[in-house]
Structure 1
Amino acid sequence: MFTTKSFIKKNKVGNYLKHVREHYIRDDIACGLQECESCFPVESFLSPDHENKCALFEFNHYIILDTNVILDQMDILEESILGNVIILHTVLKEVKHRSLPMYKRLYNIIDNPSRHFYVFINDHHKGTYLQQKEAELVNDYNDRCIRAACSWYINHAPKCRFIFLTDDSANRAKALQENIQSLSVSDYITNLNNNSSLTDKLSRKDYHAKDAAKDVFPNHLTNVELLTGIREGRLLQGTFRASRDNFLEGFVSVDSYEDQIIVQGRAGLNRAVDGDTVALELFREDDWVCPSDIVLEDEGVEDENVDDVISKENELKRETKKKRGAKPTGRVVGIIRRKWRQYCGILQGGIDGVYQLFVPADKSIPKIRVETRQAEFLRTQKLIVTIDSWPKHSRYPHGHFVRALGKIGDQSTENEVILLEHDVPHSQFSEEVLACLPKMPWIITDDDVTKRVDLRHLDICSVDPPGCTDIDDALHCRPIDPEKLEVGVHIADVSHFIRPGTPLDREAASRATTVYLVNNRIDMVPELLSSNLCSLRGGEERFAFSCIWEMDHNANILNVRFHKSIIKSRKAMTYEEAQLIIDDKTKQDSVAESLRNLNKLAKIMKQRRLANGALVLASPEVKIQMDSETMEPLDVEVKKLFETNSMIEEFMLQANISVAEKILEVFPDCAMLRRHPVPPSLNFDPLVKAGRHLGFEIKVDSGKNLAKSLDEAIKKDNPYLNTMFRILATRCMLQAVYFASGAFQKEDYYHYGLAVPLYTHFTSPIRRYADIIVHRLLAVICGSDATYPDLLDKKKTTDLCQNLNYRNRMAQYAGRASIAFNTHLFFKGKLQDEEGYVLYVRKNALQILIPRYGLECTLFLARKGETSNIFEYNEEDQTQKAGDVVLHAFDPVVVRLTLDSNNIQHEKFVLQLVKPVVDNFSVPGIDQTDDNDKKRKSPEPDKKKRKKKKH
């Protein structure tokens, strides 16, 4: 049956229109109770055998949940002790509307038969549907529908008992008036049997200050005040980023401002957490300050005691008083959207009682106050904690314990810790996702051949790092006539297997990128695709998307075409193998000739690119040699690069440029492109000052001049100097990001690092979701596939880009953290002297780069927060002077390197200066013999023996 609702509405021209809404009502929707004999039997996981044991009730019962319980207490609901839970459809819809992540977590529970959850479609049931009253708020209407469903269950099944859980005190009071037994989640959980671990997981949002408690932070403005202020231009909106070196400083990125806006002190930060979207009040220019040069760590242990914070705030004010080069400064006046997530870390020692301080592993996150009755055990564990609230009277945010990951120092948990710390999705692919994969054995049919260009006759090959199994790209080069060459870049056709809107597509979009750790890989797509059907393995037929150019021998592009194809790679090579083939003049086969032509063209292309102002930057990338049996690091070394690395890079860059031009031409408003913003000139100050000291003028007024300056910064007696300049230049850059073409002006499309007006990502769809979107756009252009609404929606593309940019940044950080962890393992128990270079000069420290291991470590010249009485800092020249010794950026040094494991949360390298010798500061050098060096770099003898026996 249908129920109707009519209402009159006045349109724009003054006429009154009658609207009628129909709502489908049924009388055959089952309650899901197995004890019920009146409802039509349906599949239900509710079970009369499951017992909910709460000391407040002498009877077994079913639980009905309010919306706020699911949104706030999901960590409790995921515990198996709770069962026979009825989820009303009204609640389910509201959860989905307010938090998609919570909705997904809830559905995982509902789908698990052992949890005994059941969804009751109350809003279409004849006995529980209610019409919304005129002028009734949606929230009040939903609450009324939920209570009506509770009453219906009580009357429908009088032999069963029902408990309604809600943390909304007003709704709970109304429920009790309507004879519905109702409790808060806290009251219910604290009275459950065996509840010791559950009470720690309660989300407690209703904190009350002690009578004598003073406000630590200013009030936040109301939502109305924030929106009005932003609309009128009095307030700015941006993303807050906390400093990792100074807990009293942060920065807000605002789209309309070139520079990040500095916020300092309690009032300035005002309870913002890294990643939050905040509203900001900008100070007058007279009140702007410079970023601090000092390191300040939060050593507080008491929530109410802010004396040490005030002391450090005063120290910060002394250091950041207005100086030349001050940057825009402001204060946070409200939070527009929280970016809180689950955080990994440990409990801080030395605190008694149920209230403990949790120290996140991520230094940009503040300590979190948690309540627990198992602190003694949890102090031995790595934990996950989430933030619930941050009252203005509390020095720290309040949160709750989620789960323990494992014992502190246990290597088996470290990968998971790294992934969780960096918010990397890494759960197993669901059955729903795996069901989207093609059935095996997979074969290419005659129908497939007719829809694609058959290139299986070409001498196509791939060149990748050793051990690569997710091979995205392959190339070929063949002469067309004496004046022309045909060059093809063939990219795995992942979009053939991942169709828009499927569970597999949604999962890949959420993950956004493959994450590479030292001894693990978190795939964006299931292994059947990443390492098999999409991987362009040697000797196997595969689907590809091909970009094919006609070029002359000077690498000028005469023509370009795109099409889907079928290829059969002749060989999958490593960079080193391809280099050996190119260099071995005795090899004259077609693959060798193809590689030599590709290499020749790539050199011309690179030279032309650099002449146009493209930057050659550098970063100390390292490779960790792992023991195949114990998975312990045996050695750390800088990666070796070959000409073939550059060869592959050039053709991938050109393919991305050619595709960007094509998709923008056809889709000017929704093409997914990649831009690299021009850095603010102030970013280059450390680079310019370091160059001036060494007699080089580093010009930063344009990318072309910067590239030329870097090329000229060479000294014969210091071959590593130029690499140092390029590493420092890399640190001055902003991050490249994905964007929808219609969201920016064309002048903002520019890619500063590559010096090209247009760029995108097309060449790695196995490991990057952006490339899949680009493939879909290109497939529409080629007539190989149909479009769909989301592909042409600029707003949805922009939202997708935000997730891609975030996931890519986190994946990058996770990879670095994995390398750092394994490097720490390698150096445990070692003491050695190493040659290094000063990378940065700071007020109380030197940043030292150790090229041999790609390490960047801090050499403190004084205790943190203090000024050295041995060294004298010159801010203008960026130098540290001690007697006759003056240290500048890029100066060579010798340092003693040890690993400090006293702080198990943040292990760090401790450096001591060996050379140059500074009285009362430097330490004498260690005489390292060849035998010691071999011992340091070789595996233990018993490991060698085991390896021999294995072979």
Structure 2
Amino acid sequence: MLRSKSFVKRTKKGNVVKVVKEHYLRDDIPCSSQACTICEQHSRPVLSRTPRSTTTLKHPHYIIPDTNVFMNQLDIMEHPAIKDVVVLQTVREEVKHLSLPVYNRLNAILSDSNKRFYMFANEHHRDTYLEKLKDESPNDRNDRAIRVATQWYANHLKGIGIEAVMLSDDRANRDKASVTNIKSLSVRNYVESMKDVPELLDMLAAHKDNSLEKDKIIYEEHLSAAQIANGIKKGSLVQGTLNISQHNVLEGTVYSKLDGEERTIYILGRKNMNRCIQGDIVAVEILPKEQWKKNTSLAVEEEEDEEKMYGEDSLDADMKDAEDNNPDEVGEPTARIVGVIRKKWRPYCGFIVKKSVHSKSGSTAAENVIFRAIDRRIPGIKIKTTQAHSLLGARIVVAVDSWPANSVLPLGHFVKSLGSSGDRETETEVLLLEHDVPYQEFSKRVLDDLPVEGDEWVVTEEHVKKENRRDLRHLNVCSIDPPGCTDIDDALHVRSLENGNYEVGVHIADVTYFVKPGQTMDEEAANRGTTVYLVDKRIDMLPALLGTNLCSLRSNVERLAFSCIWEINENAEIVNVDFAKSIILSKNSFTYEEAQNRIDDERMQDDITKGIRVLNSLAKKLRQKRIERGALTLSSPEVRFNLENDSQDPVDVELKELKETNALVEEFMLLANISVAEKIYSKFPMSALLRKHAAPPANNFDILRKALSEVDITLNVESSKALADSLDEAVLPNDPYFNKLVRIMTTRCMMQAQYFCSGTEIESEFRHYGLATPIYTHFTSPIRRYSDVIVHRLLQASIDPDAVYGQELIDKSKMKDLCDVLNHRHRMAQQAGRSSVELYTNMFFKNKVQIEEGRVIRILKNGFVVLAPKYGIEGIVYTSKKPGDTSPFEYNEEHNSLVAGDVIIKMFGTVKVEICVEGDEQGMRQKMRMRLAEPYVEGVSDLVSLNNKRKQEGAGSSSSSSSTTGNLEQKAKKAKQ
């Protein structure tokens, strides 16, 4: 059946055209019930023959939710107990229009065969399609379509004893349904009838008026989207992403342009944050200059009493101090949030605060309790639960529903329980969820895209002939990687040419041979974005058959590769470069140490060893050229854990050692990335996927420069070359660690490198500041980075005139969206890796008290941040626990130091700290604690003595701790005398 309508419209050029829209209606769209004998099922029916019945709905039934159910109660719909659901086409399209993330989650449910969710094309069914009535809003038309489709199902299934029930939290919609005898229920009433699944009640989204503290605090209402857009256009408002300080949960920052210059803008206190959460994209109004931040930051952790934390007095102490300071002094820009452009709320992992549970043990009455996220930057969340006591001591997931202006805290609901606090598997799952890392097993649809031969797949002569690959199997190719590496992306070769130059090749795994555009596996890799490396495991971007087998360039196995081959002279100058799909046969898979031993052992004179020496010599020259151009050599404290084989408990921790061969591989990978970037940009100037690193604003270095000036060292930040030269000169003769410490601190002043689409930036913005190169991309790790997969496709299209490529390579908008996803995934993967190190560090120090040397890297008003080089860990040493508490130390603003008598704590200073791991009163948040051991300061170092004594009486401590503790106790006695 065909319905059509025509109308005329005027184009932008003023022409009048007639538009005809045709809508095909069918009568053969099945209901997909296994019990139905009327429909002709075109595929296997989805809905069960015997669906659920409940205490309220005595008969078996299918449920048909409206749009708002999926928008507001999606966690309920994802629960395993909710099955046999009809998702109407009307609803699915409306969800797509309202929220793409919710739409993607809905599609994931539809694709899960265990859930039995069926998408019914009601907009194309002859009996359920509706025309919009005159003066009827689109929303009312869609509600009517949902009721009509529910009625059709009810009539259609009447003869087989199955009912159709509309789920809706819209009372008006339910009232209209009852007029025509359509069965309907609210989500609350429906889950209340499911007596066998009581936890569903806890998962109901909170109502916006569910505030327990309506009169406690009144936040300002947010501006409307139109007001925000107008304010940004006029320049009265500034847009940016809210980042909450790790050291002070009452201090946030927004990085944005102010007066034409990129600046860090401070948001101080909960009132000025105005109900916004870490990561929200916000609109801020700059405060008058007399209210700008003029003081060093405080270290503030959340208090046990949430009311104090979020009450009227929660303006940051810095904010109060600003009023008393010299009004002529110009501080850091400070602002208040006036509106939200985009909420970045997500499910949060954490625990229920024990003090907030008031019911008796065993009670199943619903009560309001407070949830705290593992991420300290997230405010407490009020949830209503019937299982408060059973959830105490567990890691749970909670979603935020709203944050009304009259509620002290945001309101949310329980999603699921993950397991017991302290369990390694549970804590690892928590950190993966917290960093939005997709970690589920690969689905069958993904695995179906793997070669049917499995691990029996081999390279054949057809790959040479049909694909015009270059046969490089005769070359002395080898790989150099960390110990235990199984996903080998890259390999190298070098050989002498007759003209005295060298041919050097970088060979990268040809992942795109196996991963094709449009495949489910390609979509999954794009979503994962990157492989995530944790201390004890790896979350792969690609299935193991590819990542650690068919694509991995292991030795003595023929593999498909994408090769970048240069002719290089003795001075490491590039004569020419060539790119080709190839076949290689790696002769050796070295670790960095093995390759280094070959270089150093003069007795080894085989061709491969000689080749590694040539590569090493060329790499040093390439590196020198980069440094002369202004490339930075920065540093970070990286540690490696030695794990016990059986339990996987950390038994030792050590700093990673870098060898010459690390730099050898790095230089040629950098060169390959630069060469490929130039090639793909020449072919795709508007859609090349590149990587940039912006120059940091000069004021990022202000604190570091001031601290260095105290030791007569000048840090020149006019250019990357000036900075690199300054870092080389930042040496103290009697302090061998000083230069590395300065480089570590310089790294923290840098901007984050970003993927971007070449068509969205001017060419001068392409520059990679840290590498001092005008153009750069990622090509060398396609097994573990999806960006490299796209770059391989771009490169193939650039060198092959007959290459056929899809729209995704030339669509600037799609490439930009992909870059946004990759930047997010890359950033989250880095943070997940750091959190994994933190988790294992806490495990390593559990029941231990150790005193180690540390270096001061930041001064706060009420403490200082210490880096312990031996373990690569850092923490805050508090001189007073809370702002305003009495402390032996006074803050000296002029020299940015803390002074107690003749003891001065300054940046770069050396101290000894006691390191231990403590939890809160419930042990729900393990945290590294550092206390000052030396120099001794009464009232601060005394805490070390008391703490060690307590530890010794309990679990005992190491001999080094005991001896130091004894010295401190003697000093404490002398000081008191």
Q: State the TM-score bracket (shorter-chain normalisation).
A: over 0.9
- Could you say what secondary structure the match of 2:194 adopts? coil
CA distance in 2, matches of 1:763, 1:211: 55
The yes-or-no answer on 1:344 pairing with 2:356 is no
Residue in structure 1 matching 2:287, options 283, 290, 305: 283
Partner of 2:975: none
Conservation of the 8 A alpha-carbon contact between 1:776 and 1:785: no
The yes-or-no answer on 1:781 pairing with 2:809 is no
CA distance in 1, matches of 2:410, 2:83: 31
Residue in structure 2 matching 1:550, options 559, 562, 567: 567
- Could you say what secondary structure the match of 2:220 adopts? coil
Aligned residue identity for 1:50: P
Conservation of the 8 A alpha-carbon contact between 1:462 and 1:474: yes
Partner of 1:748: 765
Aligned residue identity for 1:611: E
Partner of 1:274: 278
CA distance in 2, matches of 1:854, 1:511: 29
Cα deviation digits, residues 926-949 of structure 1 (max 9, x gap): 99999957999xxxxxxxxxxxxx
1:529-568 to 2 correspondences below 5 Å: 529-568=546-585
Structure 1 residue 406: Cα displacement: 0.5
Q: Quick one: structure 1 residues 36 and 291, their matched pair in 2 at CA, closer, same or farther if it must change by over 3 Å?
A: farther
Q: Quick one: structure 1 residues 725 and 116, their matched pair in 2 at CA, closer, same or farther if it must change by over 3 Å?
A: closer
Cα deviation digits, residues 769-790 of structure 1 (max 9, x gap): 1111111111111107422111
Q: Quick one: structure 1 residues 896 and 299, their matched pair in 2 at CA, closer, same or farther if it must change by over 3 Å?
A: closer
Residue in structure 1 matching 2:394, options 381, 394, 408: 381
Partner of 1:312: 314
Partner of 1:627: 644
Partner of 1:137: 137
The yes-or-no answer on 1:444 pairing with 2:463 is no
1:465-480 to 2 correspondences below 5 Å: 465-480=482-497
Aligned residue identity for 1:682: N
Structure 1 residue 429: Cα displacement: 0.9
1:15-34 to 2 correspondences below 5 Å: 15-34=15-34
Partner of 1:198: 200
Name the % identity: 45
More moved, 781-790 vs 599-608: 781-790
Q: Quick one: structure 1 residues 177 and 750, their matched pair in 2 at CA, closer, same or farther if it must change by over 3 Å?
A: same
Partner of 1:95: 95
The yes-or-no answer on 1:865 pairing with 2:883 is yes
Aligned residue identity for 1:187: N
Structure 1 residue 246: Cα displacement: 2.2
Cα deviation digits, residues 770-822 of structure 1 (max 9, x gap): 11111111111110742211111111111111111111111111101111111
Partner of 2:604: 587
Partner of 2:969: none
CA distance in 1, matches of 2:94, 2:395: 34
Conservation of the 8 A alpha-carbon contact between 2:421 and 2:427: no
Conservation of the 8 A alpha-carbon contact between 1:47 and 1:116: yes
Aligned residue identity for 1:747: S
- Could you say what secondary structure the match of 1:156 adopts? helix
CA distance in 2, matches of 1:396, 1:493: 51
Partner of 1:331: 336
Cα deviation digits, residues 888-938 of structure 1 (max 9, x gap): 2111222222222345333222223232233443358999999957999xx
Q: Quick one: structure 1 residues 235 and 920, their matched pair in 2 at CA, closer, same or farther if it must change by over 3 Å?
A: closer
The yes-or-no answer on 1:823 pairing with 2:841 is yes
1:456-535 to 2 correspondences below 5 Å: 456-481=473-498, 483-535=500-552
CA distance in 2, matches of 1:629, 1:472: 29
- Could you say what secondary structure the match of 2:354 adopts? coil
Aligned residue identity for 2:460: T
Residue in structure 2 matching 1:219, options 218, 221, 235: 221
Partner of 1:425: 438
1:625-774 to 2 correspondences below 5 Å: 625-774=642-791
- Could you say what secondary structure the match of 1:216 adopts? coil
CA distance in 1, matches of 2:285, 2:339: 9
Partner of 2:967: none
CA distance in 1, matches of 2:330, 2:918: 36
Partner of 2:46: 45
Partner of 1:907: 926
Conservation of the 8 A alpha-carbon contact between 2:292 and 2:330: no
CA distance in 2, matches of 1:552, 1:142: 71
Provide structure 2 residue ranges, at least 5 long, that are not aligned to the other structure. Answer: 360-366, 964-977
Aligned residue identity for 1:726: R
Conservation of the 8 A alpha-carbon contact between 1:292 and 1:319: no
The yes-or-no answer on 1:917 pairing with 2:936 is yes
Conservation of the 8 A alpha-carbon contact between 1:693 and 1:888: no
Structure 1 residue 121: Cα displacement: 1.8
Partner of 1:939: none
Residue in structure 2 matching 1:843, options 861, 865, 887: 861
Aligned residue identity for 2:395: K
Conservation of the 8 A alpha-carbon contact between 2:404 and 2:410: yes
TM-score in terms of structure 1 length? 0.94
- Could you say what secondary structure the match of 2:311 adopts? helix
CA distance in 2, matches of 1:141, 1:291: 58
- Could you say what secondary structure the match of 2:314 adopts? helix
Aligned residue identity for 1:371: K
CA distance in 1, matches of 2:90, 2:539: 37
Conservation of the 8 A alpha-carbon contact between 1:306 and 1:395: no
RMSD: 2.5
Aligned residue identity for 1:856: E
Q: Quick one: structure 1 residues 78 and 518, their matched pair in 2 at CA, closer, same or farther if it must change by over 3 Å?
A: same
Q: Quick one: structure 1 residues 288 and 921, their matched pair in 2 at CA, closer, same or farther if it must change by over 3 Å?
A: closer
Structure 1 residue 311: Cα displacement: 2.3
Structure 1 residue 325: Cα displacement: 5.3
Conservation of the 8 A alpha-carbon contact between 2:636 and 2:744: yes
Aligned residue identity for 1:872: E
Cα deviation digits, residues 363-417 of structure 1 (max 9, x gap): 2211111110111011120011111111111111111111111111112212111
More moved, 241-250 vs 129-138: 129-138
CA distance in 2, matches of 1:398, 1:500: 42
Conservation of the 8 A alpha-carbon contact between 2:848 and 2:958: no
More moved, 475-484 vs 768-777: 475-484
Partner of 2:971: none
Residue in structure 2 matching 1:876, options 894, 897, 901: 894
Conservation of the 8 A alpha-carbon contact between 1:216 and 1:266: no
- Could you say what secondary structure the match of 1:311 adopts? coil
Q: Quick one: structure 1 residues 129 and 414, their matched pair in 2 at CA, closer, same or farther if it must change by over 3 Å?
A: same
Conservation of the 8 A alpha-carbon contact between 2:3 and 2:25: yes
1:241-252 to 2 correspondences below 5 Å: 241-252=243-254
Cα deviation digits, residues 537-574 of structure 1 (max 9, x gap): 01111111111111111111111111111111110110
- Could you say what secondary structure the match of 1:350 adopts? helix
CA distance in 2, matches of 1:102, 1:308: 31
Partner of 1:361: 374
Partner of 1:414: 427
CA distance in 2, matches of 1:431, 1:49: 27
More moved, 121-130 vs 921-930: 921-930
Q: Quick one: structure 1 residues 257 and 525, their matched pair in 2 at CA, closer, same or farther if it must change by over 3 Å?
A: farther
Cα deviation digits, residues 812-841 of structure 1 (max 9, x gap): 111011111111111111122211211112
